[in-house]
């Protein structure tokens, strides 16, 4: 009988738990490194594509960074006028928006006070409290935005650290394979390969979809002449990560802007038609490509992952909640496939096995 292969499960789990705890304690310092690793992971296939043709990785990474800089500058120069114009327009119109909102709330307050079966003083107090909460949130917005400054600083640090990750490429992983006990190498890399295939497709897929939705929304809103097209398109792209909710957030923001700007419901309907078209194109053209071989999460698991990630790790948790949930699901799937094959639970039995070889 062949000797039994024993997986050192206890020590492996202890090391994993210690690693997770250390990550939790150091997650703020590790944020740029984690983001840089994710950036390198997403960009790596482009480098690998050209590397397969025989070119040196270092030259490709440097050339890629220079091309990225040039493209970024060209894109910025191209839409700079629009962006600057939009920012100035938003600054100039912000007081008007606020006045409009206040007038709307006051008129609704008066209507509700008349309609609600409550003493006017109680209704006014309740609505006043609700209004105060909204105003407090609005007033707190600048400080919340200011709180994001460290993450904006990461925007500079992430490509810098990512540069070194990209330069190393798969060398680090090959080092781990060399260090692993020889008999477990086959199983360990099989597991890593399965996770890589599932997760890579998912991450690249959602990023491509978000970029496509942002660009299509921006172009469509510009064509319709809707103000703040860049901000609304960005909102639509960022929220596209969320199933169901993502589809309506951008559409509602665009609808509200168009109705306010043009003063007609038809202008808003045109924006809704635009977003419905983008959504349809996404479903027909992008989803079949993205969803192939990628991990799919139930919307409730998706929301749970976002809440737990946000509560535990803050901004970093929100960014990585879904990929982490995908890793867990891929791990569970691969672990089950591994267990089933180790135990011979799913043998392959072709129907013509008994026919003689001819």
Partner 1 sequence: MDALKALTRWLTDPALSKRKKFLSGLDLFADLSGSELGRVAQGLHARTYRPGEVVFVEGDIGRALFILESGSVELTRRGADGKPVVLYALKPGEFFGEMALLESLPRSATATATETSRLHLLYRSKLEALLHAEPRVGAAIMGHLARLLSARLRRATGALASLPVPHA
Give the residues lining the site for partner 1 (CB under 8 A).
1-3, 5, 48, 51-57, 59, 170, 173-174, 177-178, 182-183, 185-187, 189-190, 193-194, 196-197, 292-293, 338, 341-342, 348, 357
State residue 108 phi and psi, 5-degree precision. Answer: -65, -35
Contact 271, 255 (CB under 8 A): yes
State residue 352 phi and psi, 5-degree precision. Answer: -100, 25
Measured from the CB of residue 272, what is the shortest distance to partner 1 in angstroms?
A: 37
Taking CA atoms, 307 is separated from 105, 153, 257, 310, 318, in Å, by 31, 25, 29, 5, 8
Which CB sits closer to partner 1, 174 or 311?
174
Measured from the CB of residue 79, what is the shortest distance to partner 1 in angstroms?
A: 34
Which CB sits closer to partner 1, 158 or 203?
203
Contact 154, 31 (CB under 8 A): yes
Which CB sits closer to partner 1, 166 or 236?
166
Q: What is the Cα–Cα distance from 192 to 344, expressed in whole angstroms?
A: 22
- Find all residues with CB under 8 Å of 238, minimum gap 6, and list them: 210
- Rounded to 10°, the helix 265-281/245-262 angle is 150
Which CB sits closer to partner 1, 195 or 226?
195
Q: Whose CA is closest to 320, among 203, 208, 238, 151? A: 203
Q: What is the Cα–Cα distance from 61 to 51, expressed in whole angstroms?
A: 10
DSSP 292-348: TTS----HHHHHHHHHHHHHHHTHHHHHHHHHHHHHHHHHHHHHHHHHHHHTT-S--
Measured from the CB of residue 351, what is the shortest distance to partner 1 in angstroms?
A: 16
3-state secondary structure of 174: helix
Which CB sits closer to partner 1, 25 or 56?
56
Q: The tokens of 274 are what?
A: 């635009």
Measured from the CB of residue 304, what is the shortest distance to partner 1 in angstroms?
A: 28
Measured from the CB of residue 357, what is the shortest distance to partner 1 in angstroms?
A: 5
Which CB sits closer to partner 1, 193 or 277?
193
Burial of 274 (0-12, 13-18, 19+ CB in 10 A): buried
Measured from the CB of residue 60, what is the shortest distance to partner 1 in angstroms?
A: 9
Q: The tokens of 227 are what?
A: 């103000």
Measured from the CB of residue 295, what is the shortest distance to partner 1 in angstroms?
A: 14
Which CB sits closer to partner 1, 304 or 337?
337
Which CB sits closer to partner 1, 12 or 289?
289
The radius of gyration computed from the CA coordinates of the chain, to the nearest angstrom, equals: 26
Measured from the CB of residue 16, what is the shortest distance to partner 1 in angstroms?
A: 22
């Amino acid at each position: 009988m062949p000797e039994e292969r024993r997986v050192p499960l206890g020590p492996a789990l202890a090391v994993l738990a210690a690693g997770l705890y250390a990550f939790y304690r150091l997650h703020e310092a590790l944020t740029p490194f984690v983001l840089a690793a994710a950036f390198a992971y997403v960009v790596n296939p482009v480098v690998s594509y050209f590397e397969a043709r025989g070119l040196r990785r270092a030259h490709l990474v440097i050339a890629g960074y220079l091309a990225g800089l040039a493209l970024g500058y060209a894109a910025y120069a191209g839409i700079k006028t629009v962006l600057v114009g939009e920012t100035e327009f938003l600054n100039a119109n912000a007081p008007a928006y606020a006045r409009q909102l206040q007038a709307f709330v006051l008129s609704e307050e008066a209507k509700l006070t008349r309609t609600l079966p409550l003493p006017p003083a109680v209704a006014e107090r309740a609505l006043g409290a609700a209004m105060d909460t909204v105003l407090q949130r609005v007033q707190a917005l600048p400080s919340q935005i200011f709180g994001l400054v460290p993450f904006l600083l990461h925007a500079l640090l992430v490509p810098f650290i990512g540069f070194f990750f990209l330069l190393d490429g798969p060398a680090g992983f090959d080092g781990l394979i060399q260090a692993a006990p020889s008999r477990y190498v086959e199983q360990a890399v099989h597991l890593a390969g399965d996770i890589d295939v599932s997760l890579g497709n998912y991450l690249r897929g959602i990023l491509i979809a978000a970029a496509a939705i942002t660009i299509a929304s921006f172009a469509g809103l510009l064509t319709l002449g809707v103000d703040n097209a860049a901000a609304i398109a960005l909102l639509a792209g960022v929220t596209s990560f969320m199933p169901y909710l993502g589809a309506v957030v951008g559409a509602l923001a665009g609808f509200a802007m168009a109705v306010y700007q043009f003063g007609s419901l038809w202008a808003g309907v045109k924006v809704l038609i635009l977003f419905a078209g983008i959504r349809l194109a996404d479903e027909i053209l992008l989803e079949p490509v993205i969803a192939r071989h990628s991990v799919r999460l139930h919307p409730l698991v998706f929301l749970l992952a976002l809440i737990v990630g946000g509560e535990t790790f803050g901004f970093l948790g929100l960014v990585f909640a879904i990929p982490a949930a995908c890793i867990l699901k891929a791990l569970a799937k691969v672990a089950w496939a591994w267990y089933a094959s180790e135990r011979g639970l799913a043998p392959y039995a072709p129907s013509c096995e008994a026919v003689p070889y001819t």
